[in-house]
Structure 1
């Protein structure tokens, strides 16, 4: 019997949006002007590594409530905002877990502002919130972050465009050639169907792959809600990724 990992699954080209999407104005300048060129298969090194099991991950790298504070042992000076847990599994197209792979995330603070020199939104920076984290998946492909729910923010796509609350996620997958980037939106956010970026995706099922689901069973009473966001890194059921 053929191993699932060796079975070829053709990519559904209708799953991803077109490179040129005038409603999302940034895509106009970034879209290619010439036909794409097919590349040869990746090299063996690109298909088999890197191995992140030796990566030194700090004790608070996946805890954004603590990893930007001067003294994480102190309970004072916590970030402002709604405390949440973001968790899920990284799996391949056949549901097999991807263990020991690197998951990175970055986000705006509770006011909708990034800690980035080019972000000039009038919301204030939070002195106790850096907005970045990382972790490795465990043997079963699970990852987990504790953070603050990011706020929505305006952006100059048109007169009154707002990005829904979202968290950017980078997952390496089984090899460096499968490194992919996406965003997690929050279940029930009314800004999701209004977002010009989301509206470049015509398949509603593809949009659903980017929505984190409220999970009351994983929430911590009197502390924080939990949102589950699973990531499928390749194949016909893969999560929609913004770099494709």
Structure 2
């Protein structure tokens, strides 16, 4: 199991219900920005499907996400990293999968940040995910990393994932087919709930 000791931003995520969605909940670029302003950083689209062990899409799953800003700082009262707070970026959102299990959201690519438990340990850029559905026994928590980030394989938290294949399944590849020209890059991240190719979930290590 991934140890989260000592890192409050690793355990602080949104908690929402199925009937509470707003139109901008899956647009982290706009959902906290002041009128006429935008958050700082590269704009990206993250999309994929929530799948069962047979590869079938899971409809109606609540997908929540939270992250640091482009400078690697969370919008958290007790955050100690010296990077600046972006007044136009809240870093939290949610969406519900469609009938095919598909989800998407727009955001700012998060930055890396130092991990306080080590002398020179850094967390790679990542986005936290929570997945919950009507047929779930528990909320499932995982993290998504970005293809090509050299900090992934140096991160002490990533190193606690049991095998390299499980780590690779947490890394979202660049998806040029979904990129929006002159606007944002796209990354694809499928979340497999069960089975041999299951996504690694931090709160369900015995079931991965």
TM-score normalised by length of structure 1 = 0.75
Asked if the contact 1:210–1:239 (Cα under 8 Å) also holds between the matched residues in 2, the reply is yes
Which structure 1 segments of 5+ residues have no match? 1-16, 28-50
Unaligned runs of 5+ in 2: 7-16
Residues 1:65 and 2:29 are matched in the alignment: yes
Check conservation: 1:88, 1:228, Cα contact below 8 A.
Answer: yes
- Asked if the contact 1:98–1:174 (Cα under 8 Å) also holds between the matched residues in 2, the reply is no
Larger Rg over CA atoms: 1
The answer on 1:208 being equivalent to 2:168 is yes
Q: 2:47 aligns with which of 70, 87, 106?
A: 87
SS at match of 2:177: helix
- Residue 179 of structure 1, CA deviation: 1.9
What is the CA–CA distance in structure 2 between the aligned matches of 1:238 and 1:25, rounded to whole Å?
21
Q: Answer whether contact 1:111 1:151 (CA < 8 A) is retained.
A: yes
Conservation of the 8 A alpha-carbon contact between 1:166 and 1:183: yes
Correspondence list, 1:1-244, <5 A: 17=1, 26=5, 52=18, 55-71=19-35, 76-244=36-204
Q: CA RMSD in A?
A: 1.8
C-alpha contact 1:90 1:173 (8 A) present in aligned 2: no
How much does 1:77 deviate? 0.9
- 1:109-140 CA distance string (max 9 Å, x none): 00000001121110010000000000000010
Deviation at 1:173, TM superposition (A): 4.0
Quick one: distance in 1 between partners of 2:32 and 2:129? 19
Q: How far did residue 178 of structure 1 move?
A: 3.9
Ranges of 4+ aligned residues in structure 1 off by more than 4 Å: none
